[in-house]
């Protein structure tokens, strides 16, 4: 179980919104301005899915061990973990594209409950995908 202290949140759609990248970058920028200058695990939590990866969802951005008006408890579920090569946004996008491709091919049976990206202080990034 992981506890994420939410700093920012926004309802989004990866495929219907031409400004999706700039909206996510702005959300991360706003969040980073509110976080203390210390080593924390940071999270991007994807939840409240309308349908599948092509539908609307809510993106929550936060960290562990900070004061926050809202917390998300990530329950122990059956997760498939994807390691992101490099911590750049390009590596993250490529990993998500791989996840979507696996799902389209029937190689990934997603639950669409709570998925999340975990950013470690050492620069490592992992994406956790909830499975049925």
Looking at residue 79, what is its pLDDT?
97
Looking at residue 87, what is its pLDDT?
63
pLDDT < 50 positions in the chain: none
Looking at residue 86, what is its pLDDT?
73
Looking at residue 69, what is its pLDDT?
84
Three-state secondary structure of 44-62 = EEEECCCCCCCCCEEEEEE
Tell whether the torsion through CA atoms of 8, 12, 15 and 19 is positive or negative.
Answer: negative
Looking at residue 92, what is its pLDDT?
93
Looking at residue 36, what is its pLDDT?
78
Domains of the chain by residue range: 2-130
Superfamily of domain covering 2-130: Regulatory factor, effector binding domain (3.20.80.10)
């Amino acid at each position: 179980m992981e506890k994420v202290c939410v700093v920012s949140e926004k309802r989004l759609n990866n495929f219907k919104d031409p400004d999706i990248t700039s909206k996510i970058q702005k959300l991360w920028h706003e969040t980073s301005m509110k976080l203390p200058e210390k080593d924390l695990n940071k999270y991007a939590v994807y939840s409240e899915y309308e349908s599948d990866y092509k539908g609307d969802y809510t993106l929550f951005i936060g960290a562990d061990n900070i004061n926050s008006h809202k917390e998300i408890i990530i329950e122990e579920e059956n997760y498939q973990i994807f390691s992101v090569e490099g911590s750049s946004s390009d590596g993250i996008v490529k990993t998500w594209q791989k996840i979507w491709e696996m799902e389209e091919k029937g190689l990934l049976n997603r639950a669409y409950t709570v998925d999340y990206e975990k950013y470690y202080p050492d620069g490592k990034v992992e994406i956790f995908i909830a499975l049925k």
